[in-house]
Structure 1
Amino acid sequence: MEALSVLAVAVASGKAGYVFLQRGQLQDWGITVKAAGSSAELVGFAQGLINELRPDVVVTEDCTKNCRKGKESKRLIQSLAELASHNSVLDVSVPRPRLFQSKYEEAQRLAKDHPEIAGYLPVQKRRIFDFEPRSMVLFEALALAQEVMKGPPTRLAALMG
């Protein structure tokens, strides 16, 4: 499935991040705080990305079960999934993969695979009372994209009909 172009959008408390991969190579990425303020702003932001990047697949997190997101984040993710379904792209919602003991270990592994975003790795692991670094949402989006690209081909095939 690496031949497809994939736009993955992740939402976390007060922020959203996206990654765009084409043929398995990271082409574009970014973080927004402003657009994560409301569904309307986030949908407008995402529609701009879809119009500009022209992905084949838009990936969001599946918030139906085992999702650890808060109520507002779930609402924003649902808005994104709904937007994707109204565009001429394949919209896919996948459960958040949890293959590592921590998000920080996952981010380090993803940065090895995609060194162009290694500069976004947190300098140090956060303490329990610290806020999560803003950049972690990028690695969350990348994990979602890889879940679709490297996951079983039957998932995309079933969605394609």
Structure 2
Amino acid sequence: MFCAPEISHLEFTKRAEDQVIPYDLLLLADESIPAINSYIHFCEIYRIKISAEIIGVCAIQRLDSKSLEIKNLALIEAYRNSGIGAWCIQQLEAHFSSQFLFVATGDASFAALRFYERNGFKRSSIRRNFFLDNYEQAIFENGIQLKDQILLRKRVS
């Protein structure tokens, strides 16, 4: 049985510019390297670690002085549903002076939608046909082809 790690053992550290981009982890939450490359060079990348083991990644892009967008948040499977994802959202809220956090996900990405809504995000808009217009290959989640992109927003006091 898996036991969730103590939050006190977790680290949320910024990747240095000279460190390799962790594509293996980013691919857990995005479909392809070209898709990741469309945003990653505009992002700050944070590694989620327990001791020396990197268990996840969070890529954020500053939209303006008041807003951040989570472009990618991924944990290796063994650490999902353990509270670490929520802890990462709390780290973003604590470390940045942003008033808003944004995230976008697919219309059939039910687990991601539930996760973000449980963590205080509200649906704010829909980009119709986003996945049909921007990806050459059809993307399926939960047996359903992704079509629209759902945008969510959280106000951070």
Task: Please classify the TM superposition score into its range, dividing by the shorter chain length.
Answer: 0.3 to 0.5
TM-score (structure 2 length as normaliser): 0.33
Structure with the bigger percentage of strand:
2
Structure with the bigger percentage of helix:
1
Higher relative contact order (CA 8 A, sep 6+): 1
TM-score (structure 1 length as normaliser): 0.32
| Higher radius of gyration, 1 or 2 | 2
